[in-house]
Amino acid sequence: MTPPVVLTIAGSDSGGGAGIQADLKTFAALGAFGTSVITAITAQNTLGVTAIHPVPAEIVAAQLDAVLSDLPVAAVKVGMISDPAVAKVIAARAAELPNLVVDPVLVATAGSRLGEVDVVGVLTAYPCVLTPNRHEAGALLGRVIETAEEMVSAAAELAARGPRAVVVTGSELALDVLHYAGETTPLRGEPVATVNNHGSGCTFSSAIAVRLAAGDAVPEAVAAAKEYVNRGLRGGAQWRLGAGPGPLDHFGWSV
């Protein structure tokens, strides 16, 4: 059977754990055919980001044209956007991007700045599934988000800006908060004791996109993505790849 086509619009992580590389592995692991529009090239490993080269907006637009004019894209995940002109290119074509999932990437776990609030903020009002972590939600709202109660109110406030749904993720707490169809639901997962969490947010948003492409409703897609990330974290927990926080096992179905 022909697989559903899913598109990632994101940055490249040379270390392979996050960004485009994590997205394409997630698509493949979950049975989708992955396509990509690269917005930036990062020189990155498990210890951090040492350089960022934004891809010019016209090249981003050309990649988008090439994919959308030929392939039946069923869902789109947007990750790292560092250039306002690139955000504009994507915003201008947002109506053509089905099952849009936006991960408002701002800061890598290792501390490097990958995006700016006023750039990624442009996309948060589109009818997408928005997946900020606590820190990104706080940056978008201009305050600190720490507790579960603060995550609940952040999800509701961000939902009022117009996205189809908001999931505020809670990293190692494994507690995420979903706001969808006027309701806010805490999603509790099994915390995984691991230092290898590089790319968990990219993997989560990509997995949501695949499940939406497959026809899941938003709550089912989010629950399936959460389970997939959890398996990836468990599968990679004993890996020793790099001196910093390592990647997930995207193909770790046996654990």
Ligand X SMILES: Cc1ncc(COP(=O)(O)OP(=O)(O)O)c(N)n1
Ligand Y SMILES: Nc1ncnc2c1ncn2[C@@H]1O[C@H](COP(=O)(O)OP(=O)(O)O)[C@@H](O)[C@H]1O
Chosen from ligand X, ligand Y, none, partner binding at 13 (C-beta under 5 to 8 Å by type): ligand X
What is the DSSP code (8-state) at residue 198?
Answer: B
- What x-and-dash track marks residues 7-46 binding ligand X by CB under 6 A? ---xxxx----xx----------------------x-x--
Burial code (b: 16+ CB inside 10 Å, e: under 16) for 233-250 equals: bbbbbeeebbebbbbbbb
Chosen from ligand Y, ligand X, none, partner binding at 233 (C-beta under 5 to 8 Å by type): ligand Y
**Sheet strand arrangement including 183-188:** 48-54, 33-45, 5-13, 73-78, 100-102, 129-130, 165-168, 175-180, 183-188
Q: Which is nearer to ligand X, 138 or 199 (CB)?
A: 199
Tell the smallest beta-carbon distance from residue 173 to ligand Y (Å).
7
Burial code (b: 16+ CB inside 10 Å, e: under 16) for 23-54 equals: bbbbbebbebbbbbbbbbbbebbbebbeebeb
Rounded Cα distance between 98 and 145, Å, is 30
Q: Which is nearer to ligand X, 4 or 19 (CB)?
A: 19
Tell the smallest beta-carbon distance from residue 15 to ligand X (Å).
8
Number of residues lying near ligand X (CB under 6 A)? 19
Binding site for ligand Y (CB under 6 A): 133, 169-172, 174, 176, 189, 191-192, 194, 197, 200-201, 204, 226, 229-230, 233
Rounded Cα distance between 111 and 34, Å, is 28
Tell the smallest beta-carbon distance from residue 192 to ligand Y (Å).
4
Chosen from ligand X, ligand Y, none, partner binding at 224 (C-beta under 5 to 8 Å by type): none
